[in-house]
Amino acid sequence: MSEVRSNPPRETSSDRYATNPQGGRSSRIAVLIPCYNEEATIAKVVQDFRRELPTADIYVYDNNSKDDTVRIAAENGAIVRREHRQGKGNVVRTMFRDVDADIYVMVDGDDTYPAEFVHELIECVENDGVDMAIGDRLSNGSYSQENKRPMHDAGNRLVRGLINRLFRAQLCDIMSGYRVFNRRFVKNMPVLSEGFEIETEMTLHALDKRFSIREIPIDYRDRPEGSVSKLNTWSDGFRVLKTVFWIFKDYKPLAFFACWALLFLLAGLAVGIPVISEFILTHRINKMPSAILAVGLILLATNALTCGFILDTIVKQHKDMYELRLNHNRES
């Protein structure tokens, strides 16, 4: 993996994160910026975060850009690395594995997230013990005003409703790309997604493993002129919904298979009740295919519910092992 690094600016005594209130060294902060063809905006993003966090290490992870993103990022003082597997999820996986810090700031390279809000997000993690702070674009309405893709707004609402209902949460912005994490979350986050559904996966993982989450309302601005979005409303929306579906199965198997069991049971009753009624009246079964189908559907319902109970027990054991691993890592 190639790396380009320029000399960071001189540390000053006025830097906000130079020392903590007790006079010791502050937390090591890493700003992680995944990029793909962001030559129009990457210089401003790096400069803005350098201004707000003068002592932080700013990493730009290039994902096969075909423009001058790498050169511009390096010229503006970023540590440039490359991830050749295409997809934001692949980039985030590599960033989380490679970068060593106490606090991680993840932000897109398209200049849609204002850097000045980073202090509030970091404060949640550094001082309040929050595992993941999310820059909430939706609460103050700036996303709806600036976003020129109404279907994305509708998709956000749909996914947010599904996840909040699934995990009994009250989150406002599931897909925000502006987040701050502590080291414990980053080093214990199994990144499985390959594309833009990574934000949804991180939110679901935090909810399922009971990491603390806090949302901070931020302003959102649409991409400046000359910057082109890499999102595709339909394909990316489908991938996000697919991720929710599979994580529903993996994390909430009892509820998932109970839904299937209920569907099979209702179908079996709809087919079987006329057969039972006929048998009660005539003591004969003339609709033999319907009777066989009804029995098969009821068996499927029973099997689905059994699978749900077995997998639910396995998931609970996995959660126990995950908690023990977190405790062991904390002690060591």
pLDDT in tens, 104-142: 999 999 999 999 999 999 999 999 999 999 999 888 766
Q: Using alpha carbons only, what angle is made at residue 10 by residues 6 and 11, rounded to the nearest 5 degrees?
A: 125
Among candidate residues 230, 251, 272, the one where a domain is terminated = 251
List for the chain the helix, strand, coil content (%; round to 5). Answer: 50, 10, 35
> CA 140 to CA 157: how far, in whole Å?
15
Query: Are residues 213 and 279 located together in one domain of the fold?
Result: no
Q: What tokens appear for 166 in the block?
A: 């699934």
Query: Are residues 166 and 262 located together in one domain of the fold?
Result: no
**Confidence at residue 151, expressed as pLDDT on a 0 to 100 scale:** 60
Annotate 55-94 with b (16+ C-beta within 10 A) or e (fewer).
bbbbbbbbbebeeebbebbbebbbbbbbbeeebbbbbbbb
Class of residue 301 by CB neighbours under 10 A (exposed 0-12, middle 13-18, buried 19+)? buried
**Confidence at residue 319, expressed as pLDDT on a 0 to 100 scale:** 79
Q: Which residues pair with 34 in a beta bridge?
A: 61
Q: Using alpha carbons only, what angle is made at residue 212 by residues 118 and 184, rounded to the nearest 5 degrees?
A: 80
Query: Are residues 156 and 297 located together in one domain of the fold?
Result: no
Q: Residue 332 — very low, low, confident or very high, per pLDDT cuts 50/70/90?
A: low
pLDDT in tens, 172-183: 998 899 999 999
In the chain, the DSSP E strands lie at 3-4, 29-35, 57-62, 79-82, 103-106, 132-136, 179-182, 213-217
Q: Residue 224 — very low, low, confident or very high, per pLDDT cuts 50/70/90?
A: low
Q: Residue 6 — very low, low, confident or very high, per pLDDT cuts 50/70/90?
A: very low
CATH of the domain at 216: 3.90.550.10
Q: Look at 126 and 330; give whichever has higher pLDDT.
A: 126
Query: Are residues 191 and 327 located together in one domain of the fold?
Result: no
Number of domains composing the chain: 2
Q: What tokens appear for 254 in the block?
A: 């009892």
Query: Are residues 199 and 266 located together in one domain of the fold?
Result: no
Nearest to 197, CA basis, from 245, 154, 165, 255: 245
Query: Are residues 240 and 267 located together in one domain of the fold?
Result: no
Q: What is the mean pLDDT of the chain?
A: 84
pLDDT over 70 percentage in the chain: 81
- Is pLDDT at 7 greater than 80 in this prediction? no
Among candidate residues 224, 251, 278, the one where a domain is terminated = 251
- Is pLDDT at 21 greater than 50 in this prediction? no
Query: Are residues 299 and 152 located together in one domain of the fold?
Result: no
Query: Are residues 171 and 308 located together in one domain of the fold?
Result: no
> CA 125 to CA 144: how far, in whole Å?
27
- Is pLDDT at 5 greater than 90 in this prediction? no
Query: Are residues 112 and 243 located together in one domain of the fold?
Result: yes
Query: Are residues 225 and 315 located together in one domain of the fold?
Result: no
Q: Which residue has the tokens 């398209």?
A: 110
Query: Are residues 294 and 169 located together in one domain of the fold?
Result: no
Consecutive H or E run containing 287: none
Q: What is the domain extent for residue 206? A: 3-251
> CA 43 to CA 70: how far, in whole Å?
10
- Is pLDDT at 231 greater than 80 in this prediction? no
> Stretch 50-54: mean pLDDT, rounded?
96
Query: Are residues 281 and 235 located together in one domain of the fold?
Result: no
**Confidence at residue 2, expressed as pLDDT on a 0 to 100 scale:** 47
Among candidate residues 191, 216, 251, the one where a domain is terminated = 251
